[in-house]
Amino acid sequence: MTDFKRTRQHFHLPEGMIYLDGNSLGPLPKAAVERARRTMEAEWGELLIGGWNEAGWMALPARLGDRIGRLIGAPAGTTVVGDTLSIKVYQALAAALELNPGRRLVLSDTGNFPTDLYMANGLLRTLGKDHQLKLVEPQDVAAAITREIAR
């Protein structure tokens, strides 16, 4: 069983606060401040662009992905850390539309996170090729998937 009192000591949290917000970086790990300082001085400051290879920055998305993969039961090499979820939504939609240039309809449900819908609308406006975003109720998504949907 987790010793929450001991675990809490590793984080900077205002006295008396219980912090459960899932849409943030979370509470600051106390060790992160020193680690960030060392990274900036020794890796960024001394290695400059060489940090991508010498400090292993290029491999970090896969290394961190493997660590997360172990938590979720994914095989090594199948999970990668990337940009924010909103950026990934944008990239996935752009790729689907490029792979299927004849399909101009993007489907989402009305319960989708607002930022994801903003990203979809922004992409479709940027493309300017008569693309449309179709919103349906969550329970109606399966029935709304047709050959016109870019996927």
Sequence-distant (6+) residues with CB within 8 A of 29 are 10, 11, 12
Same domain, residue pair 14 and 66: yes
Same domain, 10 and 55: yes
Domain's final residue, options 36, 51, 72 = 72
Residue 58 shares a structural domain with residue 100: no
Domain boundary among 72, 97, 112: 72
Count how many domains the chain has: 2
Flag whether 150 is in a domain: no
Residue 99 domain boundaries:
85-144
Q: How high is the mean pLDDT of the chain?
A: 92
Give the model's pLDDT for residue 149: 84
Give the amino acid at 65.
Answer: G
Inter-residue contact 64 to 81 (CB < 8 Å): yes
Helical packing angle, 114-127 and 85-99, nearest 10° = 40
| pLDDT tens per residue, range 57-104 | 999 999 999 999 999 999 999 999 998 888 989 999 999 999 988 888
- Tokens standing for residue 61: 């998305």
Given a contact cutoff of 8 angstroms between Cβ atoms, the answer to whether 133 and 124 are in contact is yes
Enumerate residues 6+ apart whose C-beta is below 8 A from 90.
Answer: 119, 120, 122, 123
* β-pair partners for 106: 133
The answer to whether the beta carbons of residues 68 and 79 sit under 8 Å apart is: yes
* Residue 91 and residue 112 share a domain: yes
Instruction: Answer with the one of 39, 72, 105 that is the final residue of a domain.
Output: 72
pLDDT at 22 over 80: no
Is 26 a domain residue? yes
Same domain, 23 and 63: yes
User: Is residue 41, in this structure, part of any structural domain at all?
Assistant: yes
